[in-house]
Amino acid sequence: MGVDPGLTRCGVGVVEGVAGGPLTMRGVGVVRTPADADLGHRLVAVEQGLEQWLDEYRPEYVAVERVFSQHNVRTVMGTAQASAVAILCASRRGIPVALHTPSEVKAAVTGSGRADKAQVGAMVTRLLRLDAPPKPADAADALALAICHIWRAPAQNRLQQAVARHTSKASRAPHPSKGRTA
Amino acid sequence: MGVDPGLTRCGVGVVEGVAGGPLTMRGVGVVRTPADADLGHRLVAVEQGLEQWLDEYRPEYVAVERVFSQHNVRTVMGTAQASAVAILCASRRGIPVALHTPSEVKAAVTGSGRADKAQVGAMVTRLLRLDAPPKPADAADALALAICHIWRAPAQNRLQQAVARHTSKASRAPHPSKGRTA
């Protein structure tokens, strides 16, 4: 599950697949919070929204966009705080969290770390065999994050998956996972 | 309850009192997380630590230092993310959260927005009638935040308290609060 953090629009995208294999979109959407609400209520709303996504899709990995402070000073704090909530929600459940920079994500899906939004949207559409680019852009970016994670961390994922398989065998998990969902 | 947010040391200080009346320290300490742990585990540890403080002291207000991005770029993200956890924990419980800037806090307790750490520590010691300045500085800063909130927002607090009193009467709360705790 990829999360493009934000207070006004927090993009969420769930992709299943393995590096080198076909990718399938499981879900995509946006958690929104009202711009006129106070920060505390917005953070609680982001938490509640992301908890619903985690409950519904139970992803094996969560990939969150790494926030840099050189961006717009007014919005960067909100983005950092929304990302903290996303990382917290996943970590509390024991789901491994990976952070990827925007340029890593762009490079992963388009081949160029300086690709624009339209190019990222077009490649996400092609890679997931969708009829049209997901909207808003935050939703497409979240899917791109999930794809980036599946492609960039195969060795790391294989190791974590082997551990998870071992653990779930040991605990006789009733729903062994068949694929890799990020 | 004042919170000086941070991942390595998150200062917490609980002060009871009203503007114009004597102030009493109820508790002070620091929530620490290991610098070599990953971000997710650190945020979960901050959450668990703050939840214990909130459970134990049940403050009426939580004051958190407002984070600015013009500070050190490497640490500001961690500070912003720790502050998000503090704001989230309080807001989830319905506790009003106030953000105060470092210079507002310094001005409130020392009279100067540009006072240094030693001056803030000395005034916190005097105002709370302590034997020595609380250490580390993050703990003293958290107490200063709580004092600042009690002094700066009396009108706002009175309004919120009246609402809270009305609500707690309506719900026949078993432990009506006698003072104002921030």
Take residue A143 and report the two structure tokens written for it: 């899917």
- B177 domain residue, yes or no: no
**Residue reference for tokens 């609380």:** B134
- pLDDT tens digits for B56-99? 999 999 999 998 766 566 678 889 999 999 999 999 999 999 99
| Touching A: B residues 85-104, CB under 8 Å | 85, 87-88, 90-92, 97, 99
- A45 domain residue, yes or no: yes
- pLDDT tens digits for B27-40? 999 999 999 999 99
Take residue B138 and report the two structure tokens written for it: 């993050």
Give the range of the structural domain holding residue B114, as residue numbers without chain letter: 2-170
Specify the amino acid at residue B19. Answer: A
pLDDT tier, B166 (very low <50, low <70, confident <90, very high otherwise): low
Take residue A154 and report the two structure tokens written for it: 């195969």
- B25 domain residue, yes or no: yes
Residue B10's beta-bridge partner residues?
B31
pLDDT for residue B67:
85
- Cβ separation of A44 and B88 shorter than 8 Å? yes
pLDDT over 50 at A176, yes or no: no
- A124 domain residue, yes or no: yes
- pLDDT tens digits for A58-87? 999 999 999 876 656 667 888 999 999 999
User: DSSP secondary-structure letter at A67?
Assistant: P
pLDDT over 60 at B155, yes or no: no
- pLDDT tens digits for A32-61? 999 999 999 999 999 999 999 999 999 999
- Cβ separation of A92 and B44 shorter than 8 Å? yes
pLDDT for residue A181:
77
DSSP β-ladder status, B23-32 and A2-4: unpaired
Nearest to B133 by CA among B118, B149, B151, B148: B118
pLDDT tier, B178 (very low <50, low <70, confident <90, very high otherwise): very low
The distance of B33 to chain A (nearest Cα, Å) reads 14
Give the mean pLDDT of B135-151.
96
Closest Cβ opposite residue A81 in set B40, B44, B83: B83
Nearest to A50 by CA among A111, A91, A98: A91
Q: Residue B51 belongs to a domain with what CATH number?
A: 3.30.420.10
Take residue B127 and report the two structure tokens written for it: 């105002």
Is A104 marked within a binding site?
no
Q: What is the full DSSP assignment across chain B?
A: -EEE--SSEEEEEEEEE-TTS-EEEEEEEEEE--TTS-HHHHHHHHHHHHHHHHHHH--S-EEEEPP-TTS-HHHHHHHHHHHHHHHHHHHHTT--EEEE-HHHHHHHHHS-TT--HHHHHHHHHHHTT-SS--SSHHHHHHHHHHHHHHHH-HHHHHHHHHHHHHHHHHTT-SS---S-B-
* Strands (DSSP E) found in chain A: 2-4, 9-17, 23-32, 62-65, 97-100
Residue B12 phi, psi (nearest 5): -135, 130
pLDDT for residue B158:
61
- A182 domain residue, yes or no: no
Decide which of A168 and B12 is more confident.
B12
SS3 label, residue A139: helix
- B65 domain residue, yes or no: yes
Distance CA A182, CA A161 (A): 12
Instruction: Let me know if A51 is a catalytic residue.
Output: no
CB-based contact A60:A95 (threshold 8 Å): yes
- B180 domain residue, yes or no: no
Count structural domains, chain B.
Answer: 1
- Residue to substitute from A33, A91, A160, interface B, most B β-carbons within 10 A: A91
- B182 domain residue, yes or no: no
> A4, A60, A104, A141: which is the annotated catalytic residue?
A4
Cβ-based neighbour number of residue A56 at 10 Å: 11
pLDDT for residue B153:
73
Q: How many CA atoms lie within 13 A of A120 on its CB side?
A: 28
